[in-house]
Structure 1
Amino acid sequence: MKEFERFLPSNVYDVDKVEEIKKLDRETLVSLLPELLVYTQDMNWPVAPGVLEILLTFPEEIVPHVQAVLSSEDDNWKWFLLHFLVIKLPVASKVQFKDYLLKVAENPTKMELAEELDEIAKEILATLSL
């Protein structure tokens, strides 16, 4: 991944770099997805909307990276991902999160309740027409 570091934003304010990233070839972009996803930890960061735009162009490729975050303990990041990324993915991608969404909707932890992840999980599940 070292060879791709030069393509990544230098900080959460580096919106110019995000515009440059959008011009990269698809293969390079795919290899940047895990690192780009980090910039969605807070959608208030200036780079976050541009990064989200990039991520949404890779609905299938981003799934395993998002699943890794959803398996983590970072409920705040999960909130941002569910509200800004997962809900906007095509159904074919969203359905891959079904097990996680059902678990959170039906049996949320105290922290998931505090972050209202159960509510967004139910909202996303409703879009799957189960």
Structure 2
Amino acid sequence: MKKYESYLPRHKHDFERVNELKRRESKEILPLLPFLIEWMQDMNWPIAHDIAELLLTFPNEIVPLIKDILAEKDDIWKYWCLEVLMKELPLSVIKQFQAELIRLAEEPTDGEKLEELDETAMEILKLLR
């Protein structure tokens, strides 16, 4: 990891490092995915959308990362993962989230309901039909 640590953005305006990441080979970016997805916690951060675009170039590799986030209690982070990432993934990848989406749609926590994750999950489930 240390080899690629210097590629990670240092702050929410670090477009220089994000642009450098975009020029890197996939094998260099793969170990950084868990750290990059942390930037999805707040899509108001200036570099968040560029990082989302980069993450979407690794649709299969981000599945376990999104699943981990959906198992956490950070409902806003969950929202951004559904809205910005999952809605843009290929249907074949979205299918891997079917159980999580059904749970969000049918049995949301109070916090998930507050962030309208149940509605967003239903929208995504409709794509699978």
Shift of 1:12: 1.1
Q: For 1:110 and 1:44, how far apart are their aligned partners in 2?
A: 24
Partner AA of 2:61 in structure 1: E
Shift of 1:29: 1.1
RMSD: 0.8
Who is 1:74 aligned against?
A: 74
Give matches, 1:68-107, under 5 Å.
68-107=68-107
Structure 1 consecutive aligned stretches of length 4 or more whose deviation exceeds 6 Å? none
Aligned pair 1:38/2:28, yes or no? no
Partner AA of 1:68 in structure 2: D
Q: What secondary structure does 1:51 align onto?
A: helix
Q: For 2:73 and 2:100, how far apart are their aligned partners in 1?
A: 13
Who is 1:5 aligned against?
A: 5
TM-score, normalised to structure 1, is: 0.96
What are the Cα deviations for residues 19-71 of structure 1, in whole angstroms up to 9, with x where unaligned?
11000111111111111101111111011011011011111011001111111
Q: For 1:87 and 1:95, how far apart are their aligned partners in 2?
A: 12
Q: For 1:6 and 1:45, how far apart are their aligned partners in 2?
A: 20
Q: For 1:4 and 1:71, how far apart are their aligned partners in 2?
A: 27
Aligned length: 129
Who is 1:108 aligned against?
A: 108
Structure 1 vs Structure 2: percent identity of aligned residues?
44
> Which consecutive unaligned segments of at least 5 residues does structure 1 have?
none
Q: For 1:30 and 1:14, how far apart are their aligned partners in 2?
A: 19
TM-score, normalised to structure 2, is: 0.97
Q: For 2:2 and 2:20, how far apart are their aligned partners in 1?
A: 18
Who is 1:120 aligned against?
A: 120
Q: For 2:102 and 2:45, how far apart are their aligned partners in 1?
A: 29
> Which consecutive unaligned segments of at least 5 residues does structure 2 have?
none
